[in-house]
Amino acid sequence: QMEARQPGFNPQTLVETMVWDKAHQRVVTSSEGMEGGAQPGVPFSSLRLVDVELEPLGHISDQQEYRVMVGYNVIASLLPEHRGGEAGQVGTVPFRRLEDARLRLVNLGPRSSRTSAPDGVGFPVCTVCGEARSPFASPAEIENFSKGHEEVCGRGTSWVALHADVRSELLLLGPFEDDAAAINAVVALQIGIRRVLETGDQDLEVMTLKEADDREVGVLFDPMPGGSGLLPLLRQHWGEVIQAARESLSACDCESACYRCVLNFRNQQHHGALNRHAALNALTDIDGSFKATHAIPPSFVEQSVDTDAADSKAEEWFTALLKTKSFPLYDAAQYQVSLSGGSHTIADFAFTTAKVLVFIDGLSKPIHGNPEQQRKDKVARAKARAQGWSVVESSAQALKDKTMAAALLDELAVYLEAVEGD
């Protein structure tokens, strides 16, 4: 997990291009397509959240004339990564339970149309330093914000969505005969869970997501890292939870929905679909024992190696290490040295005046783990030494190992000081 506090951290690695399929209310990565070759929807950039710092600007009191709680358009999507699980039926509704699944939550911005966001998506953010402004800020303020960061950070600000990937055990319910039943079912369950398991409003989160067949399913997930054990408890007390939810919904005397029964701030994007009578019907659909019919095998995504990104990461780490220890910076990266016999070698970094070459193996060139390549590297570097170059070698992992990094810098210092002494 890359974090902003790590040496060499590059915030651009957190920006991902996505597409908002408005017609189906889905968010997909730009590498995915839409069914039937349809138009790809609205492309946008999204920034993955890490190390967020929120600063309170003040307290909202009863004396204030306007007290505003802004609602946001948050879209959930299930990524193809999990450790397996099981599928079957509960009541008359299909269910799936997935262990350690990856759920992506994308905040497209405020649901209000009063923002200046292009296509209604995003927040104004400097993707270099992470500073942000309110999407409701005036165009003049946002322009001033962008110009200021272009001068200081070297890049103007961008309108980006915000996303987080949650790893959690998931319980998916549906599809139902009526798509609206999905959100009504999980919101009703949330009400029963609070009464039976005495949880808080956010101890077990609920969402809906659109699947590839355009059907909506309800999702319950545990937002606590490592899990709090609430989902297994829910299944143990399933009947009690449903009964408690029925009693609570039946006791309300509103016509269809209100803040005493199914409505709350966090589910406001679904207020048009929420209805306590529909929720009671959905509870009837899922009332019954869990009957698993088959196991779901684990699913993992094989990550491809991007050598350009790897070279960039090695450079960032090495540069950060030099700056932290007040070393002079190298003169060139990916520096080619001509060798005897018409061959050449490429050093990751070179101090040309001091005639020092630095090779970082294991990250920028994955083949360095191959014994034959190691032999070729040894010969090429011996030839470089014979031509008067000093050679410093390190693994990529050593750059983040304090002891090994210190040894690397000690060796580098000897060669650089030798030149200064001359």
Structural domains in the chain? Answer: 11-50+71-296 (no CATH), 307-421 (3.40.960)
Query: What pLDDT is recorded for position 56?
Result: 65
370 Cα distance to chain centroid: 33
The yes-or-no verdict on residue 42 having pLDDT over 90 is no
Q: CB count, 10 Å around CB of 205?
A: 20
- CA-closest candidate to residue 275, choices 171, 187, 177: 187
* Residue 77 parent element (H or E): strand 72-78
* Confidence band, pLDDT 50/70/90 cuts, at residue 66: very low
The residue ranking higher by pLDDT, 383 or 362, is 383
Contact 389, 328 (CB under 8 A): no
* Confidence band, pLDDT 50/70/90 cuts, at residue 291: very high
The yes-or-no verdict on residue 349 having pLDDT over 50 is yes
Buried b (16+ CB within 10 A) or exposed e, 364-388: bbeebeeeeeeeebeebbebbeeee
- CA-closest candidate to residue 101, choices 245, 264, 221: 221
Weakest mean pLDDT among 54-58, 167-171, 182-186, 295-299:
54-58
Query: What pLDDT is recorded for position 306?
Result: 46
pLDDT digits (tens, 9 = 90+) for 215-272: 899 999 988 766 678 899 999 999 999 999 999 999 999 999 999 999 988 888 899 9
The residue ranking higher by pLDDT, 361 or 368, is 361
Q: CB count, 10 Å around CB of 136?
A: 15
- How far, in Å, are 49, 113, 157 from residue 4 at the CA level? 10, 32, 18
The residue ranking higher by pLDDT, 292 or 305, is 292
Query: What pLDDT is recorded for position 169?
Result: 92
Contact 127, 146 (CB under 8 A): no
Among 64-68, 114-118, 151-155, the range with the most confident prediction by mean pLDDT is: 151-155
First to last CA, the chain: 45
* Confidence band, pLDDT 50/70/90 cuts, at residue 362: low
